[in-house]
Structures are given as structure tokens and as C-alpha cells.
Amino acid sequence: MTRVEFQHRHAGHCESGVMSSLLTHYGLPVSEPMAFGLSASLLFAHFPFIKVGGIPLTAYRMPPGSVIAGLSRATGTRMRRSRYRDPEAGMRGLDAALEAGRPVGIQTSVYWLPYFPPDMRFHFNAHNLVVFGRDGDEYLVSDPVFESPQRCPAADLRKARFVRGVFAPKGLMYYPEHVPAEFDLQRAVRKGIARTLNVMTRAPMPWVGVRAVRRLARHLDKLGRRADPRYTRSLVASVIRMQEEIGTGGGGFRFMYASFLQEAGERLDAQALAEAADAMNGAGDRWREFALAGARFIRDKGQSATVPLTEALEHCANSEAAVYRQLRQWLRRHPAPSAAAAGK
């Protein structure tokens, strides 16, 4: 039996949970909300030209891998990432890391992980987890969406790591090669917030950020007057599913970002960030109100008017825009030190 002493942690989202656990294990304690916020992974995007099952793609966070890359950049951590063409080579690489005493993060498909209940399995290929040991033909798994560690047969884990399709894992395995003892938290928080503000308020594309929320609201208004209600219900169901199921924790990650702002405010003694956290929690509530209105629209087959959905999305956009104004004011009042000052 090969086993690394590793503390399992339940988390709200797989990638941020894995990175929080890995960095903490390797000596740099980072909470899950801090991992999410420092990596600048909050997003809203609705791409009418990218379709999954005939329905436009909606996203509430940056693409898979953004937490890994963003948090590494923010903390000065150097990650070792490996992909494999040959599944057998990928499994040998995993075994070698475990024998060297390293717990490792891997990317998998939820559908092929047998410890997931059947009704929770779907073809999502960007699920992250930690492998920390092997016992015969089973791997010991710390999956952040579960309360306790799990076991996964080698054949199933191999299939989950090398499934094909959108976001195909290609055997991705990663672990820290160098983790600093500490990092400049204020600088990292500033940069993480600034990146999120740029994406959500200054993106040059109309399909990204706050104006994408307003654009979707206008689109739903047109669909309510012109389109087949069956298509509109399918679209609304997709938007809500990405928000409340894929956007783990509900509210499309807005509650997690609020927790990041709250923790940052406490650690930096910044009351303005705590106030922005309260406002972001309010934005998350607006998103849940939209989800509730959407659920009613989907259930009522005789309903075709989308006015409640349009109004709910406008409230979401207004709430988030107010939060970003607060955060931009904080950045202006607390400018980053000059290079000369930082070097003293």
C-alpha cells in the first residue's frame, strides 16, 4: 500500500478546493475562497455562437485551469503539470508521484467515477480531485465535493483521466514543485480584484461581463415575444443549471467571491472590502431570485412571457455593477506602491 498523509477537505468547488488543499499540504495555507478570488476566476459569459447540445454556452467562472494558473501566479507557486498521450504512461506517472510521497491533483470526467451516485454522473470532463495513495487495485481519492475520502478502482480512474470530448483531461496531473513560505497578500488581492474588474466591466467583447448579463436579458425578452417556448425553456434551464449546479455553491460563484472579499477585508483591515462582500452576497441573492423565476417559467408550460426573467437579470446586472464600482473605488484609494517603494 502506498499512502501519503493528506488532510481531506470538503469544498464548494472542485478546482479551487483542490488548489486550496494542495497548497495547504505543501506548507502555504490558503482558503478556498481566497484561492478563487486571488486567481481572478469570477466571470459571466454567454456565447451564442458556442453551443452545447444546440444551446448557447453560459459560464460563471473562467475556463478550467484558471484557478491553478491564477493562484500559482498570485502566490509565486511553481506548479509541475504533466499531460500524457498514452494512458499507461499516465498511470505510471501517477504511481511514481505517489511513491515519491506527493499527493497530486488530476483532472477527470465525473461520468466515469464510480463513487458518484448514478444520478450525479454526467459528461463533465473538467472535474478536479486529489489522489493521495494506492491500495492494491484502488486509488485513495480526496474529492472536494464529498465529505470524506473515497476509493476508486484503477480501471475507472484511468478511464476518467483519458476520456475524450470537450475539456478532455488528457491525463492532466499537477502538483507544486516550489511553494513560498509566504507572499504579499495585499499585492495579490489588489491584482486579483483588478483582473476581475477588467473582465467584468471592461471586456471588449459584448458576450463577457456585466453587459453580457444585460445582453442576455434583452435576448430573453425577444425570445418571449417571437421564439418557440420550448427552445426558450431549454435555454433558461441551461443558464440556471450552469449557475446553480456547475456554479457550485449557488449564485454562480458570487457567494464564494463574497467570502473572498470578506476574508481579504479582515486580513488587510479594509472595511471597504467587507462592505463590498455584503454587496456581493446581495448580488448572489439576485441571481438566486433569477433562478427561482426561471424554474417557475420552466414548470409553467402555458407561460411564454419572459418579462420576469428579463427584469430579474437586469437586477443581477445592476447589483454586480454596484459591487464593481465599490471595488474600483477601493483600488483608487489604495494605489499599489511604486516599484522603488516596494523594493525598500
Distance CA 100, CA 93 (A): 11
Write out residues in the chain with pLDDT < 50, as ranges.
339-344
Max CA pair span of the chain: 68
Q: What is the pLDDT of residue 166?
A: 83
Q: What is the pLDDT of residue 131?
A: 98
Distance CA 194, CA 186 (A): 12
Q: What is the pLDDT of residue 341?
A: 46
Q: What's at 219, amino acid-wise?
A: H
Distance CA 117, CA 208 (A): 34
Contact 246, 124 (CB under 8 A): yes
Supply the CATH classification number for the domain 78-178.
3.90.70.10
Kindly report the pTM of this predicted structure.
0.92
- Residue for cell digits 435555454? 235
Q: What is the pLDDT of residue 246?
A: 64
Distance CA 243, CA 239 (A): 6
Secondary structure string (H, E, C) spanning 24-90:
HHCCCCCCHHHHHHHCCCEEEEEEEEEEECCEEEEEEECCCCHHHHHHHHHHCCEEEEECCCCHHHH
Q: What's at 114, amino acid-wise?
A: P
> For residue 110, which of 223, 248, 202 has the smallest C-alpha distance?
248
Distance CA 53, CA 41 (A): 25
pLDDT in tens, 90-117: 999 999 999 999 999 999 999 999 999 9
Where do the domains of the chain lie? Answer: 78-178, 185-335
Torsion of CA 317, 321, 322, 323, to 10 degrees: 110
Q: What is the pLDDT of residue 342?
A: 47
Q: What is the pLDDT of residue 54?
A: 87
C-alpha cell at 327: 471595488
